[in-house]
Amino acid sequence: QVQLVESGGDLVQPGGSLRLSCVVSGVTLDYYVIGWFRQAPGNERERVACLRSDVGITSVVDSVRGRFTISIDYHKNAVYLQMNSLKPEDTAVYYCATARWTARRAVEYEIYTLPESQYDSWGRGTQVTVSS
């Protein structure tokens, strides 16, 4: 059974930094897309970053480009989201999720077009609050 556990969320001032962790158990992150999503109150959940584990390709959305970085530690089977220059609008619950990168998905999608519905396993989230 796949389990994802996020951590690292906190209250931080604007301009500050946080590093979120997503530790995955039950599978080895060999051929997976791992995404970081966020959901603010009253808003739909959005993907902010994703990574393809077999080749290390990453993608981030425009609103966080240059500020957020996604990375993977294969030994720890964990994925991280380094968040710098945080803004109040980054306040949200952050989730990580995984999707097996199958041959079918590779034909149909790029990692940044993979629909949220294609992600199979989700963590419970960690709260990030950016406020002075």
At 10 the pLDDT is: 98
At 47 the pLDDT is: 97
Q: What is the pLDDT of residues 24-76, one digit of tens each?
A: 999 999 999 999 999 999 999 999 999 999 999 999 999 999 999 999 999 99
Q: What is the pLDDT of residues 17-37, one digit of tens each?
A: 999 999 999 999 999 999 999
At 30 the pLDDT is: 93
At 99 the pLDDT is: 97
Burial of 91 (0-12, 13-18, 19+ CB in 10 A): middle
Nearest to 117 by CA among 20, 31, 41, 47: 47
Contact indicator for 84, 70 with CB cutoff of 8 Å:
no
* CA 81/CA 71 separation, integer angstroms: 7
At 88 the pLDDT is: 97
At 91 the pLDDT is: 98
Q: Which residue stretches of 6-122 are H helix? A: 103-108
* Number of helical (H) and strand (E) elements in the chain, helices listed first: 1, 11
At 49 the pLDDT is: 98
